[in-house]
Amino acid sequence: MSNEARRTAAPPASDRPLPRRTVAQYAIGSLGTGGFGTLPGLVLTYYLTDSLGVTALLAGIIVSASKIWDVIVDPVIGALTDRDLARRGTRRRLMLVGSLALPVFFALTFAVPPALGPAVGAVWVLVAFLLTATAFSLFQVPYIALPAELTDSYDARTTLLTWRVVVLTFAILLFGAGGPMLRSITGDPTTGYLVMGIVAGVTIGVGMLIATGAARRAHGTRPTMQTAAGATATNAAIVAHEVAGDPERGPTVEPSAFGSGIRGNFRAAFDALRRSQPFRVLLGTFLLQALATGMMLAGAQYFATWVLRSEDAVTLLFVALIAPALIAAPAWGWLARRRGKEATFAWASIIYAVAAAAIVAAAWAPGAWVYAPVAVAGVAYAGMQSLPMAMLPDVIAHDAARHGPGRAGAFGGVWTAGETTGFALGATVLSVVLAVTGYVSSTAFESVTQPDAAVTGIVLSFSVVPAALIAISLLTLARYRLRRTDVDV
């Protein structure tokens, strides 16, 4: 190509900014992901133990069972959404089904009549929440895969995911503070939980539904899904046999990448995990941090009720956590563009760990001062959410450049499974601590007193244990080797 042609040629995909409408549609999806990730984690265990009378250990098992199911089904959904992309040119179909189904099952989860008793209530919640989690995975897995297809740019992905986290932090504030307020609006815990389930479920579904527009828009603008010969993932299955064995044509997509039955779906997922060292490291780091934040999230209502002695204090805890995060999210994106995502991610994690550890003093001197370290943790939390999610598309693009495109859904499935596992284990560890320290469960309108050991366990679960998990995650993050020069080529 002549110098004149180079000057007049269209800029490469990596230099073109994403349309604002695409960025907005994608970001609004986090209204759904943030709501689903926050509200059940905040109130579901507490709903089981303090409204339905389910023991703490059984409540933890129920929450964990739904997440174990996610680990099973997410890789399957990942391979199915890759196959949708290859055959239909879009991941929208599964996202749409999940968006429409989730509000119904979410409301049913919190519609248990307490008169049925703890045993029936436990089974009801288990079945309803399993269906809810499945609907959410149908949306979440392809949603996570989209950024790698929307742009090739290292910095554009940071911008895209930064705005996603701005909406995510707003959603956490909205659902974390608004959910408990909705629960108390009727003055009756039974109808209050039902109102909360209906309103929150519809809001989550609407946010997810809007985001399906970004999936439709990704068709025809999937730079990372192109082969060197210019083929997109839509026709990659056709092109694969034509260019196989020709190194000048670039990487190809193996038909097995899209899975063939359940065994093939899991093979595609585990191949992605085995093949990519940066993915294993990033996933391990994020899983540990999800465990830490999931434990704090599940413990927030217990901390408000039994340490701060106000069930409504959970709203203030979430305001203190998320209000600073709304401001901090763009700042973390700005810093990442200058210092690198991985270094900035490490600093955010360190700040969060120090702030969480400081809350342990509430065991001896509970009071309003705890909102200060919670606010500092909120600033760090924005970076801990946006940066790994901005690094994931880089990992997917790096793998596509080395092994061929068409596997973003497989990566998304494994990532979602790891994330949900971390959050589930957070609630499980909390429930074990509550059981060991003698926490007393109760039904609605029943008054109980907790032993000092249980209150101490709640404090430790909200401070020292999460801080230790974040510290361990930094050791994993230190092994992440992918840099800008490996991605922007």
Total-model pTM: 0.68
Question: Residue 88's pLDDT band (boundaries 50, 70, 90)?
Answer: confident
Residue 485 scores a pLDDT above 60: no
Mean pLDDT for the chain overall = 79
Per residue in 282-314, pLDDT (tens digit) is 989 999 998 998 888 888 888 998 999 887 788
Question: Which letter does DSSP use for residue 443 in this model?
Answer: B
Distance separating alpha carbons of residues 289 and 63, to the nearest angstrom: 18
pLDDT digits (tens, 9 = 90+) for 231-286: 333 333 322 333 333 333 333 344 334 444 556 666 766 776 777 788 888 989 99
Q: Does residue 108 have a pLDDT over 70?
A: yes
The CATH classification number of 21-221+268-484 equals 1.20.1250.20
Domain boundaries, the chain: 21-221+268-484
pLDDT at 95: 92
Contact indicator for 411, 282 with CB cutoff of 8 Å: no
Q: In the chain, pLDDT over 70 holds for what percent of residues?
A: 81
Which of residues 387 and 159 earns the better pLDDT score?
387
**By 3-state DSSP, what share of the chain in percent is helix, strand and coil, each rounded to 5?**
80, 0, 20
CB proximity list for 374: less than 8 A, separation 6 or greater: 317, 320, 321, 355, 359
Q: Is 73 exposed, middle or buried (0-12, 13-18, 19+ CB in 10 A)?
A: buried
**Choice among 21-30, 63-72, 114-123 with the minimum mean pLDDT:** 63-72
Q: Which helix (H) or strand (E) holds 374?
A: helix 371-403
